[in-house]
């Protein structure tokens, strides 16, 4: 007979969904005009959707929620709803999201290199 710990592990394993390929995540996130901006804001300490919306001109709540939903689906961020009135919601980058952000750090570095090359000509 399996112990309760073994049963718990089996249950968690059965519910696990294989993650999408990183290539698919990159295509989806890069395809969204606002995803990088939202991830950057979270990395800089802005976690509340109202603050995110007010911080970026042109970002509508509908589009913001769509982008956040995609990032939640991929496991890049997590959402916490606090049992308060009015409800308070915060988004944070997950450990997988932190690893994924390395892709964008490389892109930022390439951007800086190209800018240096352009000014040195």
The predicted-structure confidence for 72-112, as pLDDT tens digits, reads as follows: 999 999 999 999 888 899 999 999 999 988 988 888 899 89
In a domain, 3, yes or no: no
**Tokens 């059965």 appear where?**
14
pTM above threshold 0.85: no
> What gap in Å lies between CA 93 and CA 96, rounded to an integer?
8
Is residue 67 within 8 A of residue 73, CB to CB? The reply is no
**Tokens 């606090």 appear where?**
82
Is residue 68 within 8 A of residue 77, CB to CB? The reply is yes
2 — pLDDT class (breaks 50, 70, 90): very low
In a domain, 15, yes or no: no
In a domain, 1, yes or no: no
In a domain, 14, yes or no: no
**Tokens 């690893």 appear where?**
99
In a domain, 4, yes or no: no
In a domain, 95, yes or no: yes
The gap from C-alpha 119 to its chain's centroid, in whole angstroms, comes to: 33
> What gap in Å lies between CA 108 and CA 103, rounded to an integer?
9
Asked whether residue 18 carries a pLDDT value surpassing 70, the answer given is no
In a domain, 11, yes or no: no
Task: Provide the domain limits for residue 103.
Answer: 20-119
Specify the CATH number for the domain of residue 59.
Answer: 1.10.10.10
Q: How many domains does the chain have?
A: 1
| Predicted pLDDT of residue 92 | 96
Radius of gyration of the chain (CA): 18
| Predicted pLDDT of residue 69 | 93
């Amino acid at each position: 007979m399996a112990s309760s710990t073994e049963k718990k592990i089996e249950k968690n394993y059965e519910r696990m969904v294989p993650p999408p390929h990183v290539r698919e995540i990159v295509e989806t996130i890069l395809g969204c005009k606002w995803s990088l901006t939202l991830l950057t804001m979270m990395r800089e300490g802005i976690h509340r959707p109202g603050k995110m919306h007010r911080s970026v001109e042109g970002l509508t709540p509908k589009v913001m929620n769509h982008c956040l939903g995609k990032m939640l689906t991929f496991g890049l961020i997590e959402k916490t709803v606090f049992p308060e009135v009015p409800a308070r919601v915060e988004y944070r980058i997950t450990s997988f999201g932190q690893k994924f952000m390395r892709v964008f750090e490389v892109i930022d570095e390439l951007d800086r290199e190209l800018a240096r090359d352009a000014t040195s000509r």
